[in-house]
Structure 1
Amino acid sequence: MNYIIFGGSGFIGTHLIKLLQKECVALGDKILNLDIVMPGEEGVVPGKVEHIDGVEYIRLDVRKPIEFEYEPSAKDVIFNLAAVHRTPGHPDYEYFETNIRGAENITRFADKYGIKRILFTSSIAPYGAAEESKKEDTLPTPNTPYGISKLVAETIHIGWQEKEADRELTIVRPGVVYGKGEHGNFTRLYWGQRKRYFFYPGRKDTVKACMYVKELVRFFKYRMIDNDFPGSDIFNCTFEPAYTIEQICMTMQKATNMRRHIPLVPAWILMSAATILGPIGGKKVGLHPARVKKLMISTNICGKKLAASGYQFYYTFEESLRDWYKDCDGRGLK
């Protein structure tokens, strides 16, 4: 059996590979990581193959037709994690080029070799920014190039599955994914509290749907390896109910043995400062009206479908933060 991971050198892919190595790989199985970079590297060196700890790393660009030496087996599974995702941070065309072209090339690769199982990591971005709770059947209204490109990529994968009834497709829309190696929202939130410069922007009840990276990849395993689910399905991947920013901060402090008072700065003060400072350089420090407004909008993603799916969560929210802290030897989340 081959575990074929497109974009496996990133944050989620690294944790997926560790789980596969620990719990899934049997004699004769292969883990193939196809990525534009090797772990920890930058740049592109096409055609080079490296073997590290039983994983075959192949430099590959999903924007181009996928060709490499490959011997298929009956139970092969594809994990499509490849994406341009940081937003803002890229020209608009890069989201479409990588996320849409990548979906087309990966599904063509699956067609060519008769692979019947794909898991695609989408995003909550197709829902668009709004305060209301979003379920999997909520009408998508993406308002960014990233969200639009991910919604189109979902459609491409669904079209692949519909060609043959026995094909299996799982699409996941994770909330904020956190854990060791994230270097993103939760890491900044932790250090903002620890260094006493974080404050609640405008409100304490902003909902921030989230999921621990180790939990997320365990759900991948449940759907694609432990069970058979013919057809296609979409799951919001988040704790249910989703936590508010105040609950997240208080639980993070408890799990990491930290005690901090977090002040609340009223929205009118933030917006006034952003309106004045934004045009003259405030954007560099996050004081821009659009950025401030975004901080005060919930990512209110409903996880009821996942909770009712038969998958048993391995961690509670607090346990996941403690596990992350332990992974970092108690020196702070990173």
Structure 2
Amino acid sequence: MKIILIGGSGFVGTQLIDRLLETSGVEVLNIDKNNSSKYPELTRIGNVMDWQTLAHHAKGGDVVVLLAAEHRDDVSPISLYYDINVEGMRNTLRAMEENGIKRLIFTSSVAVYGLDKDSPNEDTAIDPFNDYGKSKWQAEQVLHVWHRNHPDWNINIIRPTVIFGEGNRGNVYNLLKQIASGRFMMIGKGNNKKSMSYIGNIVAFICFLIAEKKQEGYEVYNYVDKPDFTTNDLVHHTGHILGKKIPTIRIPYGLGMLGGYGFDFLAFITRKKLNISSVRVKKFCATTQFSSSKAMSSGFVPPYTMEEGLRRMLEEEF
């Protein structure tokens, strides 16, 4: 089986290649606009905005895993979300059709549900609050229409929540780094629950879907590792694992948002991307809790618990 990763040079893609290479009878090729620092010999340079290059490199593939996305909070111009996430989907499908590849696994996002929802499942109404979530939903709609016209395809959509783990340099890493350093400021009460996904489990779930070898069908899965931690829980577990007493400064939510708007203004006038913004404060304080009962009833068993995943990341990074 030849598996084509599109956008596999980053955090998730690198870990996925690690796991796929442990499987006998599997050939892996990564297509990305950036070379892979770990697997340059498996990487071909290509952009999701260029379907012909994708088609050229994807020859002989059996399954495509689409990881490429524009996902940062501060992307400018905003049109990049739609260029990469939506048009990139169309170009990927065109390249697949050119090569007769009919199996696709697409990593979407729980951002399609919006914030502060009551543990949404795959049937919950869609209500994205930002352009990232909107563009991911539009990409899913492209896929839905495509499958209606190509019922013999096998399409699996995974909507993971925020992913953490060794090698991650995203929001969870920055949060844990602040906590571990003892310079952490809690905005709000810290009782808001945060659904998270450990990288080892996400890549295992992708491999599980690949191994099913279904020839047709259309499925959507939330992916979340349970239990859901509150921000207070993260502080507690981090301190316990690292053997540290973590001092916590608490700031009221309103004051935190006011500071976020101040950083928005500063970023606007300096034309610089800053680590603090009103969007990040809002996301930090929001309850982002999701159901993944469908994925967990599919026969998949996560190889790691949440506590094990957190311990592995903290001991590796800090």
For the criterion TM > 0.5, the same-fold answer is yes
Distance (whole Å) between structure 2 residues aligned to residue 77 and residue 143 of structure 1: 32
5 Å-filtered alignment, 1:49-60, equals 52=41, 55=42, 57-60=43-46
Per the alignment, in what secondary structure is the counterpart of residue 204 of structure 1? Answer: coil
1:180 and 2:177 are equivalent in the alignment:
no
Which of 118, 142, 149 is the equivalent residue of 2:135? 149
**Is 2:191–2:232's contact at 8 Å kept on the other side of the alignment?**
yes
Deviation at residue 149 of structure 1 after TM alignment? 1.1
Distance (whole Å) between structure 1 residues aligned to residue 189 and residue 114 of structure 2: 21
Which of 83, 88, 94 is the equivalent residue of 1:102? 88
Which of 301, 309, 313 is the equivalent residue of 2:290? 301
The corresponding residue for 1:163 is: 149
Mean CA deviation greater in 11-20 or 224-233? 224-233
- Number of residue pairs matched by the alignment: 312
**Is 1:131–1:297's contact at 8 Å kept on the other side of the alignment?**
no
1:35 and 2:32 are equivalent in the alignment:
yes
Per the alignment, in what secondary structure is the counterpart of residue 240 of structure 1? Answer: strand
Mean CA deviation greater in 255-264 or 174-183? 255-264
Distance (whole Å) between structure 2 residues aligned to residue 3 and residue 115 of structure 1: 10
Mean CA deviation greater in 255-264 or 130-139? 255-264
- The letter of the residue matching 1:133 is S
The corresponding residue for 2:183 is: 197
Distance (whole Å) between structure 1 residues aligned to residue 310 and residue 264 of structure 2: 38
Deviation at residue 302 of structure 1 after TM alignment? 1.7
Per the alignment, in what secondary structure is the counterpart of residue 160 of structure 1? Answer: helix
The corresponding residue for 1:206 is: 192
**Which of the two has greater helix per residue?**
2
Deviation at residue 228 of structure 1 after TM alignment? 2.9
5 Å-filtered alignment, 1:143-292, equals 143-228=129-214, 230-271=216-257, 277=262, 281=266, 289-292=278-281
1:127 and 2:124 are equivalent in the alignment:
no
Deviations 1:55-89 (A, max 9, x none): 2x11001112233155426xx11100011111223
Distance (whole Å) between structure 2 residues aligned to residue 158 and residue 258 of structure 1: 49
1:6 and 2:3 are equivalent in the alignment:
no
- Which runs of structure 1 show a deviation greater than 4 angstroms over 4 or more consecutive aligned residues? 271-275, 277-280, 282-291
- The letter of the residue matching 2:60 is P
Distance (whole Å) between structure 2 residues aligned to residue 194 and residue 323 of structure 1: 14
Gapped runs of 5+ residues in structure 1? 42-49
Mean CA deviation greater in 4-13 or 114-123? 114-123
**Is 1:240–1:307's contact at 8 Å kept on the other side of the alignment?**
no
Per the alignment, in what secondary structure is the counterpart of residue 253 of structure 1? Answer: helix
- The letter of the residue matching 1:39 is S
Distance (whole Å) between structure 1 residues aligned to residue 80 and residue 267 of structure 2: 26
**Is 2:161–2:197's contact at 8 Å kept on the other side of the alignment?**
yes
Gapped runs of 5+ residues in structure 2? none
TM-score, with normalisation over the residues of structure 1? 0.84
RMSD: 2.6
Distance (whole Å) between structure 1 residues aligned to residue 58 and residue 288 of structure 2: 40
Per the alignment, in what secondary structure is the counterpart of residue 52 of structure 2? Answer: coil
> Cα 1:268–1:225, aligned 2, differ >3 Å: closer, same or farther?
same
> Cα 1:255–1:116, aligned 2, differ >3 Å: closer, same or farther?
farther
The corresponding residue for 2:60 is: 72
Deviations 1:280-305 (A, max 9, x none): 64988766555433322121222222
Mean CA deviation greater in 180-189 or 259-268? 259-268
**Is 2:202–2:223's contact at 8 Å kept on the other side of the alignment?**
yes
- The letter of the residue matching 2:36 is P
**Is 1:242–1:303's contact at 8 Å kept on the other side of the alignment?**
no
> Cα 1:300–1:229, aligned 2, differ >3 Å: closer, same or farther?
farther
The corresponding residue for 1:46 is: none
- The letter of the residue matching 1:11 is F
**Is 1:124–1:175's contact at 8 Å kept on the other side of the alignment?**
yes
Per the alignment, in what secondary structure is the counterpart of residue 5 of structure 1? Answer: strand
TM-score, with normalisation over the residues of structure 2? 0.88
Distance (whole Å) between structure 2 residues aligned to residue 131 and residue 296 of structure 1: 13
